[in-house]
Chain A
Amino acid sequence: MTLPPGVRKFTLTIHLSCSVGWVGAVVAYLALGVSAVTSHDAETVRAAWIAMELTGWFVIVPLAVAALLTGLVMALGTPWGLFRYYWVLITLMLTILATVVLLLHMPTVSSLADMARAADAADLRRLGGDLFHPGLGLVVLLAIMVLNVYKPRGLTRYGWRKQQEQRRKQHQQRTAPTR
């Protein structure tokens, strides 16, 4: 199934917006995480954790899910396919991995944000931050971005078989006797 050009461009626009927005939101989350780790002001730490929870649930999670879904539509609705090219396959796996880790990690962020809401100044200073997950997530997202921009060559075995089938069909159509 191939999307009509208009629908393809519209889906691509949404996909790019969500994907780039996801990267930007993770950078913002990291800034809050750094602030929670480095700040000596208890209220700043409390605000950072509350903002991290809100950013996570209301910005990062929706963008991640939307990027994954629109990516699936783009892959299945264009000749790239989902399993034909290594760069598409790796992008898919990394996006699923990043989304799953995000969804598993967010309840922990909520727990810590709840703690931060009720903690006193001494407890807040010992609460720490959240840098490991967003840091690693950002690296994964940048790797996905590089793959999507450069689109390195390489057909999977499945993609190669599909390509062979298409070529065979094209060849048969060309050589078929016309009546």
Chain B
Amino acid sequence: MADPPRDRHTGEDAGLAADRQPAPGMPRWVKVSAVIVAVLVLLLVLVMLISGGGHGPRRHWSGGAAGPAPRSSVSAVFTLSGGGLGDQPPSAASH
């Protein structure tokens, strides 16, 4: 954001030229990026659903301030048999 935007219409009739211009549509790079991001998000959601879900923003809100930890790490901790942190839920372990 260092360089201020340049105005290409700096001549005497800049105002009139601007009035004649049609409203711009969405640039191609925005459309292409949107499609790519949509495809990636869709793939990510599919992978999560196939792998059993359990991830998403709701995961952080459902368990109080601390919220449960990622399945990959916490599920292992919860299944530990006795001792260590096996009996301690993440919310109890938080501040």
Contact = CB atoms under 8 A, between A and B. Distances in A.
Interface residues of A, number: 49
B4 A126 contact: no
A54 interface: no
B contact patch SS: loop
A164 interface: yes
Contacts of B86: 123
Q: Kindly state the interface size class of chain B when it binds its partner.
A: 35 or more
B30 A86 contact: yes
Given A80-B4, A119-B85, A167-B14, A126 B24 contact: no
B76 A128 contact: yes
Residue from B24, B65, B68 with most neighbouring chain A CB atoms (10 Å): B24
Nearest to A85: B5
B39 to A, nearest CB: 14
A contact patch SS: helix
Contacts of A154: 24, 26-27, 29-30
B88 to A, nearest CB: 7
Given A15-B1, A118-B85, A123 B66 contact: no
Interface string B18-29: 110101101101
A88 B3 CA distance: 13
A122 interface: yes
Interface in A160-179: 160, 163-164, 167-168, 170-172, 174
A74 B4 CA distance: 11
Nearest to B15: A171
Contacts of A164: 18-19, 21
Contacts of B80: 122-123, 126
Contacts of A110: 66, 94-95
Contacts of B50: none
A123 B95 CA distance: 20
